[in-house]
Amino acid sequence: MNIQELFSVKDKVVVITGSTRGIGAAIAKGYKEAGASVWIHGRKEETTKIAAEKMGFDKYVAADLSDIQSVEKMADHIISVESKVDVLINNAGYEDHASIENMDFNLMDKIYDINTKAHYLLFSKLIPLLKKSDSGSVINVTSIHDLVAVRNNSPYCMSKAAMGMMSKVAALELGNSGIRVNNLAPGAIATDMNRDLLKELEEDNGTSFGEWIPLNRVGEVEEMVGPAIFLGSKASSYITGTTIYADGGYKENLLRY
């Protein structure tokens, strides 16, 4: 097979949550440049529309992932427009910090609702469209913290671990339908969500964050595009139920203090 065809995502219908900025936006742009038809998702209608127009996308949908009815409407809208979905990328995420001793359970519910429950629902509703693809692929963007614990961040770690296990179970259930389900787990990536946190950690510890990472630097959002394209293409046709860690080796060297 031609190598270009092996990695091609041309004409694939792709849905990416949380894709108006950060990792999601980078992946969306990458798929668009590779010839895919991409759905942009954001939380609010007006800001999502503005972001889609600015980024050059004509397909967009808004949904508050903390609201189950909003997620259902999002799925229903995509179903009403598309005859198939080739790639679903569950990327949107929310993170906030608290110790177990001082946990606010409303915060815990919010993190779980956005990071896990919403994506579970969207995935389940889009399965009929994924089955109509000749190469359906679901990519759940988790984190190295689906595997590696970090202090004062248990709800986030737990939500990502749950999402990772969802991929494994879904891979078993949907393999005979030709749908592959995998995790893409970023490490420390410079995004709007964590840029301030990275700076605080550096100030608190008196060192560059990159010194804790074997590749000696924090990752860029664009570095998630390659793994995402790979998992959505025929190049990964025999890969399902697994996790690709794109972290510069960070999970192997996470102890900071």
Give the pLDDT confidence of 223-233 residue by residue, as tens digits.
999 999 999 99
pTM value?
Answer: 0.94
Q: What is the pLDDT along the chain (257 residues), one digit of tens a residue?
A: 689 899 999 999 999 999 999 999 999 999 999 999 999 999 999 999 999 999 999 999 999 999 999 999 999 999 999 999 999 999 999 988 888 998 889 999 999 999 999 999 999 999 999 999 999 999 999 999 999 888 999 999 999 999 999 999 999 999 999 999 999 999 999 887 667 777 776 666 666 778 889 999 999 999 999 999 999 999 999 999 999 999 999 988 755 54
Give the number of other CB atoms < 10 A from CB of residue 205. 13
Count of alpha carbons within 13 angstroms of residue 143, beta-carbon side? 25
- The per-residue pLDDT for range 79-90, each reduced to its tens digit, is 999 999 999 999
**Measured between alpha carbons, how far is 109 from 150 in angstroms, rounded to an integer?**
19
Q: Are 100 and 51 in contact (CB under 8 A)?
A: no
- Output the pLDDT for position 1: 67
